[in-house]
Amino acid sequence: MLSNSLGDEVMRLAEQAPSVVSVVPNPASDEATLVLTRTLAEQGVLMAYNAVGEEVMRVAIPMDTPRMTFNTSSLAPALYYYKVLLRTGVLGNGKLTIVR
C-alpha cells in the first residue's frame, strides 16, 4: 500500500503545470530578465533569497508586463532562489545563478 501512495505522489508531481515564471539568461551576470507566460492583472514582486533563506533582492513587477529586465550587479556570484509573489500567493519560483 505504501508503494501505491508513493507512486500517486510521484504522478501528482509529474503532472503539475510548468512554472509560469523564468529568468533568462541563467546563469546571469549583471542583468537578467524575468519572463512570465502571462501578464499580471495586479502588481507583483520578484524576491530573491540566498542559500540560507535571507532575502537579498526585491523588485516590483508592474501589472501587464510579460517581461522585465532587472539589475543583478549587487548580488555576489552564487546560487539564489527566487519567487514571484502576488496578493493571492506565489505565482512561481525557480533558481538563478549569478556568475562573473
Bridge partners for 39 per DSSP: none
Tell me: pLDDT of 100 over 70: yes
How much is the pTM? 0.80
Span 12-71, pLDDT tens digits: 544 555 678 999 999 999 999 999 998 899 999 999 999 999 999 999 999 998 999 999
Taking 70 as the threshold, does the pLDDT of residue 81 lie above it? yes
Decide which of 42 and 2 is more confident.
42
Q: State the residue range of the domain holding 45.
A: 18-98
Residue 56 falls within a domain, yes or no?
A: yes
Asked if residue 8 is part of any domain, the answer here is no
CA distance 26 to 72: 12
Is the residue at 62 inside a domain? yes
What does the alpha-carbon distance between residue 42 and residue 52 come to, in Å, rounded to a whole number?
30
**Kind of pairing, strands 44-49 and 55-61?**
antiparallel
Is residue 55 a part of any domain in this protein? yes
> What integer pLDDT is reported at residue 9 of this predicted model?
58
Count the residues in the chain.
100
Q: Which of 51, 41, 48 is nearest to 23 (CA)?
A: 48
Which sign, positive or negative, has the C-alpha torsion 87, 90, 19, 69?
A: positive
CATH of the domain at 47: 2.60.40.3080
C-alpha to C-alpha distance for 72 and 84, rounded to whole angstroms? 16
pLDDT for 19: 74
